[in-house]
Amino acid sequence: MKSFYPKNGRVILHVDMNSFYASVEMAYNPALKGKPLAIAGNPEERRGIIVTCSYEARKFGVKTTMPLWEARKKCPDMIVMRPNFDRYRAASRGIFDILRTYSELVEPVSIDEGYVDITDSYELGSPLQIAASIQRSIKEQLDLPCSIGIAPNKFLAKMASDMKKPMGITVLRKRDIPNILWPLPVQEMHGIGAKTAEKLKGIDILTIKDLASGNETQLKKVLGINGIRLRERANGIDSREVDPESVYDFKSIGNSTTLPRDISNQQELLAVLKELSQKVSERMRKKNALTVNISVMIRYKDRKTITRSRKLKNPIIKHEDIFEAASSLFIEHWNGNGVRLLGVTAQDLVEEEDALLQLDLFSYEKEAKKEPLYQALENLKSKFGKNAVTKGVKVDALKKDPHTDTSFNKDFLYERKKE
């Protein structure tokens, strides 16, 4: 089987589950199969949007992130269910357990997709045979469909997995790039969204081929260093390894909420910011992380959105400190118009034990008074281990589902670190 594998390169799979949440519900309740099904948050409220939907619903024009009211107009008979995150977590664990039987090099990207490096798995068969076996195993054991891309690097594998859905297997080699990738509109390239595509359009880059041959100086001016990286991707260049440890990385923690109505009262908006700051703080405590950068997102009733951030002198974790920074940013940049959505994000996170407090003239005296306590804690940790004493978390915070109004994928990935 070695003849099916390159002598020097890699063989990487991108496994992408099809309509994951909806598929899990259908596997759990086969009576839902073949019916237009949508998973949506807060179906009774204005903020309800489609999280994912079955292919039967998509035939009516229903799409992910579409407002629920609009989706119901397109498909009146659509079945709508709230997300069941425990069910999705269990299914995802099963998926990645299956993937690890084919290779130790498995990198979860989110709850429903991941990369597998099968370069050294040639004893199990050819790349196509392994991909078919994975697809068959996930379907037979979990009753879940997936699409798989096979390529020499992560970028091409990701592009390939999107080409045949559902239940597709696609091979994408570097020699296929001119005929298969380059004719596509640039927005269909992984890593390019609507805003980036609009910027590229401003410099006459409309297709992936245009990007592949784009002027580096122009690209860097418009997109910064990311412009050069995207040009490399368009040429099939991607040196990233499949890294099982990257699942443990996290750089930001944020919470946002769509308001039940457009609000222009400052006190009401500050109350929302305070609640969001509390949620961010709770999630940071669970991850033993501090932040040195707070950002606030404001979306107005006309859907215009602004995001503003501020670097902090010292790392923080307390909700009072987060709220102080967030409210200051909000007051500085809010134009007084009605607000539709608010968000607070802690960025540039650092592990709590690695955080170094930058003491200044005003904080030194306060922190110095705590020194005896710090010394006592260090003595306990030295004697009984670093987890002997940890900062407390409210009982209510532990009981509450941490995945409500939050980034479920990021929290799921972090949970795998503890398993």
Residue 140 burial (10 A CB sphere; 0-12, 13-18, 19+): exposed
Structure tokens at 163: 């080409």
Domain finish residue from 84, 109, 124: 84
* Mean pLDDT to the nearest integer, 74-96: 94
SS (HEC) of 120-168: CCHHHCCHHHHHHHHHHHHHHHHCCCEEEEEECCHHHHHHHHCCCCCCC
| 310: phi then psi, degrees, rounded to nearest 5 | -145, 130
* 284 and 402 belong to one structural domain: yes
Domain match, 269 and 321 both? yes
Residue 296's pLDDT is what? 96
pLDDT tens, residue by residue, 231-241: 999 999 999 99
Q: Are residues 217 and 261 in the same domain?
A: no
407 band by pLDDT with thresholds 50, 70 and 90: very low
**Which pLDDT score, from 0 to 100, does residue 398 have?**
32
> Residues with catalytic annotation?
113
Domain count, the chain: 3
Q: How many CA atoms lie within 13 A of 82 on its CB side?
A: 9
Tokens of 25: 């519900």
Collapse the DSSP code of 4 into the 3-class scheme (helix H, G, I; strand E, B; otherwise coil) and give the result: helix
- The reply to whether 196 and 345 lie within a common domain is no
16 assigned ligand-binding residue: yes
User: Does residue 223 register a pLDDT over 50?
Assistant: yes
Given a cut of 80, is residue 415 above it in pLDDT?
no
Q: How many CB atoms lie within 10 A of CB 132?
A: 14
State the pLDDT confidence band at 348, using cuts at 50, 70 and 90: confident
Give the CATH number of the domain where residue 216 resides: 1.10.150.20
For residues 281-302, give the mean pLDDT: 89
Q: Is the pLDDT of residue 359 over 90?
A: no
List, for residues 253-278, the tens digit of each pLDDT value. 899 998 989 999 999 999 999 999 99
Question: Quick one: 202 and 307 in the same domain?
Answer: no
Please list the residues that pair with 347 across neighbouring strands: 252, 293
CATH number, domain with residue 65: 3.40.1170.60
What are the Cα distances from residue 309, in Å, to 292, 305, 356?
A: 10, 14, 21
User: Is 321 labelled as part of a ligand binding site?
Assistant: no
What's the full length of the chain, in residues?
419
pLDDT of residue 395 exceeding 60, the answer is: no
Q: Strand 146-151 and strand 169-171: pairing?
A: parallel
SS3 state of residue 210: helix
Q: Are 256 and 297 in contact (CB under 8 A)?
A: yes
Domain with 208 in it: 177-234
Mind listing the pLDDT tens digit for each residue in 17-27? 999 999 999 99
Secondary structure in 3-state letters for 254-298: EEEEEEEEEECCHHHHHHHHHHHHHHHHHHHHHCCEEEEEEEEEE
Residue 149 lies in a domain: no
Among 84, 104, 136, which residue terminates a domain? 84
Q: Output the CA–CA distances (angstroms, integers) from residue 17 to 30, 48, 192, 243, in the order listed.
A: 18, 23, 21, 20
Q: What rounded mean pLDDT belongs to the chain? A: 85
How much is the pTM? 0.67
The answer to whether residue 164 is domain-embedded is no
Average pLDDT over residues 139-156: 98
Answer whether residue 371 shows pLDDT above 60. Answer: no
Task: Say whether both 349 and 303 belong to one domain.
Answer: yes
- Top mean pLDDT of 174-188, 357-371, 374-388 is at 174-188
